[in-house]
Amino acid sequence: MNDRGEPAMDEVRFERMIPAQVVARREACNLAYLPVGTLEWHGLHMPFGTDFLTVSALAEEAAHSFGGVAFPPLYYGDVRFRLHECRLEWRRGYTESMQVPREFPELFALQNSDGTYGCECPPPEEDGPMPERPLPFSKQQQTEAFEQLIAFVLLQIHLYGFRNIILLPGHVPHVEPCRNAIEIYRANVERCSRLGPPARAMTFMYIEAGAQSEPLLKNHWVHADKWEGSITMVAAPGTVQMERLPEDPDTIPPAYLGYPYTTENEGYLPEQREIWHSFAALDPRNASEEYGKEQLAAVMAALGEAIEEFMGRDPGQGDGAP
């Protein structure tokens, strides 16, 4: 409470706010942020929650800087068969560091008929009775379940009175599910006129914004590298343990990149030689808090521009990237 007995306006995290605080911030700026992440192995030195810790911090900073309310992140319900259990080049490091049986990830076949491998991860062969309510084991089933979960949360935010929502995925494969969830949410709100019109919603992928300030990100996808590690140092202080990285400069740190850039046994693939310089520059051992602050500031600037454009749109305009 301030000196006049009014609710304080400095809290932006919805789960920590009382109704009067929510209403006050909503009246000042009717905008909600929804971080969407995952629990994923990021090697020996980074937290499992990297992909939602980063965007949760981004949501809170955006709410303080540009107005609005930051909602708790979604980090369960993502497609597990596409993550660490399903990358052949990560399996050994993951199972050893977690001390879990290698049989767990090996349930999901990756070998193709031509001898190559990928990360499609079909569901395991079932040898037990079908339960009355089976879990969604296939990739398509899990994707649909995850999109519905996001759409339900969008509806919940709608029911709290928010008319503008920005989804902040922290895991690149979640961009499409976020955008699909927006359409599911809209279609279902239109089923009931008493809900009023759907809130306007858009998806902002912060790594795409980061590629504008760090051009090397355009060469390959991001995972447990200098950029992501540095951002995480700032977003979640104390969670990155640099001392756990291999000291030998010729040893590829666990979880840094993956197929088609590296393989479990051969290291960097020769066909990617033209961007090996990028692998070296973004090596996770080069991460620093100073670099993280610089990159986070660039991302925040891009998000601010996207918010300004989004809030100025006509109500009929749909989702879009910055």
Q: What is the CATH number of domain 14-311?
A: 3.40.50.10310
Q: Are the CB atoms for 211 and 299 separated by under 8 Å?
A: no
pLDDT class of 53 with cuts at 50, 70, 90: very high
> Comparing C-alpha atoms, which of 27, 264, 316 is closest to residue 161?
27
pLDDT class of 322 with cuts at 50, 70, 90: very low
**DSSP at 139:** H
Instruction: Say yes or no to pLDDT of 185 above 90.
Output: yes
The predicted structure's pLDDT at residue 315 = 44
pLDDT class of 167 with cuts at 50, 70, 90: very high
Distance CA 264, CA 9 (A): 51
pLDDT tens, residue by residue, 240-297: 999 999 999 989 999 998 888 987 677 899 999 999 999 999 999 999 999 999 999 9
Residue 267 corresponds to which tokens in the numbers above? 């290291």
Instruction: Say yes or no to pLDDT of 56 above 60.
Output: yes
Residue 124 corresponds to which tokens in the numbers above? 């395991």
Whole-number CA gyration radius for the chain: 21
Q: How confident is the model over 184-197, as a mean pLDDT?
A: 97
Helix (H) or strand (E) holding 305: helix 289-311
Which residues in 102-136 are b (16+ Cβ under 10 Å) and which e?
Answer: eeebeebebeeeeeebebebebeeeeeeeeeeeee
User: How high does pLDDT run on average in the chain?
Assistant: 90
Distance CA 199, CA 162 (A): 7
Helix (H) or strand (E) holding 280: helix 276-281
Distance CA 46, CA 240 (A): 5
Sign of CA dihedral 291, 76, 317, 27: negative
Distance CA 164, CA 310 (A): 9
Q: How confident is the model over 125-151, as a mean pLDDT?
A: 91
Instruction: Say yes or no to pLDDT of 119 above 50.
Output: yes
> Comparing C-alpha atoms, which of 131, 130, 134 is closest to residue 145?
134
Q: Are the CB atoms for 210 and 299 separated by under 8 Å?
A: yes
> Comparing C-alpha atoms, which of 72, 75, 71 is closest to residue 40?
75
